Amino acid sequence: MIVKILHVINSLVAAGAENLVVTLANEQVKTNDVSVFTFYSEKDVFAEKLDDRIDFKPHKGQNYFSTKKIYTLYKCIKANDVIHVHLFPPFYIVAILSLFTRKKTLVFTEHNTKNSRRRSVLKPLEIFIYKRYSYIICISDGVARELKAWMGNRINSITIKNVINTDYINSIAPVDRDTLRLEDDEILLAMVGRFQEQKDQDTIIRALPALPKNYNLLLIGEGEREEELKMLSKELDVEERVHFMGVKKNVFGILKSCDVGIISSKWEGFGLVALEYMASGLPALGSNNEGLKEVIGTSEALFEIGNHTQLSKLILKTTRDTAFKKQIQETQKEHLHSFDLKKAIEEHQRVYKNKVTEC
């Protein structure tokens, strides 16, 4: 049974939810008709990774409510069987538009443990919106727990853990350190993520003064806090050791030339980048929050949120204690098998088809 699937998301910028959409769409188009609708496309880095068979419908400008965008989206909803929505405000927009179409299978993926809408004043609206969806897919057990605490038993939900395409990552060669203008004897720490409050790159920067001077930090991404983080690097006299790389297309090639991957977020729904570190052959260190601790795979690779002193000690142990580093890598390599792409695709397809049959 071929299903017509429409993924709706803000954009295809370099971030976790966007990465998941591309991964799902590329696999689903092998047996289904798949379209992807984005509200703005100025920095759609991941768009280049979409399979040519996918009907990609990007839009310019960041106005979510332009008449053209809403009308185009409405037509797309009418033309498809399954409308799979990611992030806010598409979550609300599609729910409202569904009031004006014949019954469709609406699926929403909950990507985070926290959001600013979880306030009592908005709860009646939230209940209404969530109940427009046939199923809510949670990307981790932590996300599922937080959603249940907010919505109770009012909605149909299922956990399908986030995944990555390890075959693709394995095919990427490491970049030469000369192209990064870094020496072979330097220890390279990496964090991939937007420069925003949630990601807390500050903690890694604050850990650097306690590390030897040949320890460098590569920050891959962009965002509104970039200047603030540069100022912090300068205040701590580590600005020459913190490298702001911007958004990079060859992220995995860069990661494979690094020594340790770190994700220091204050909260995460899942922390997809931790899996990308593991698949790139790096030990992945992460902050001990609800979403990350089930992804990191071993408590020995966790540090408390915001604790730069604990992080600096963990970095030193990981880079100097060969046996400890090998233990983390072997544990995480085995843990990586838990996030099977084929299984995730089958679980999504089962949700889609069950609900399509009911429509």
- Quote the pLDDT of residue 266: 96
Look over the chain and give the mean of its residue pLDDT values, rounded to a whole number: 94
- pTM, two decimals, is 0.86
The answer to whether residue 329 scores a pLDDT higher than 70 is yes
Question: Could you read off the pLDDT of 21-31 as tens digits, one per residue?
Answer: 999 999 999 99
Same domain, residue pair 113 and 190: no
Same domain, residue pair 238 and 289: yes
Same domain, residue pair 134 and 226: no
E strands present in the chain:
4-9, 33-38, 55-57, 82-86, 105-110, 135-138, 157-159, 187-192, 215-220, 242-246, 260-263, 284-287, 302-303
Same domain, residue pair 135 and 182: no
Mean pLDDT of all residues in 217-243? 97
- Quote the pLDDT of residue 8: 98
Cα separation, 207 vs 234, in Å, equals 14
Same domain, residue pair 135 and 229: no
How are beta strands 215-220 and 242-246 bridged, if at all? Answer: parallel
- Quote the pLDDT of residue 181: 83
Same domain, residue pair 269 and 300: yes
Mean pLDDT of all residues in 92-110? 95
Mean pLDDT of all residues in 113-117? 92
What is the extent of the structural domain holding 218? 170-336
Kindly report which listed range (39-48, 93-102, 117-126, 242-251) carries the lowest average pLDDT score: 39-48
HEC per residue, 310-353: HHHHHHHHHHHCHHHHHHHHHHHHHHHCCCCHHHHHHHHHHHHH
Same domain, residue pair 156 and 177: no
Mean pLDDT of all residues in 58-69? 93
Q: What is the CATH number of the domain that holds 14?
A: 3.40.50.2000
Same domain, residue pair 27 and 148: yes
Same domain, residue pair 135 and 232: no
Same domain, residue pair 44 and 138: yes
Same domain, residue pair 353 and 329: no
The answer to whether residue 356 scores a pLDDT higher than 70 is no
Mean pLDDT of all residues in 197-217? 97
Mean pLDDT of all residues in 134-145? 94
- Cα 21 to Cα 16, 47, 73, 333, distances in angstroms: 9, 10, 17, 24
Residues 6+ apart with CB under 8 A from 355: 82, 105, 107, 134, 135
- Quote the pLDDT of residue 355: 59
* Token code pair at residue 145: 């727990």
- Quote the pLDDT of residue 16: 87
The answer to whether residue 289 scores a pLDDT higher than 80 is yes
The answer to whether residue 93 scores a pLDDT higher than 70 is yes
- Quote the pLDDT of residue 359: 43
Percent of the chain with pLDDT over 90: 87
* Token code pair at residue 240: 């020459």
- Quote the pLDDT of residue 179: 86
Could you give the number of structural domains in the chain? Answer: 2
More confident residue, 183 or 306: 306
**Among candidate residues 220, 218, 217, 214, the one with its CA nearest the CA of residue 184:** 214
Same domain, residue pair 250 and 143: no
Question: Could you read off the pLDDT of 6-63 as tens digits, one per residue?
Answer: 999 999 988 889 999 999 999 999 999 999 999 998 778 889 899 999 999 999 988 9
Answer for the pair 210, 241: CB distance below 8 angstroms, yes or no.
no
Question: Could you read off the pLDDT of 172-197 as tens digits, one per residue?
Answer: 999 999 888 888 889 999 999 999 99
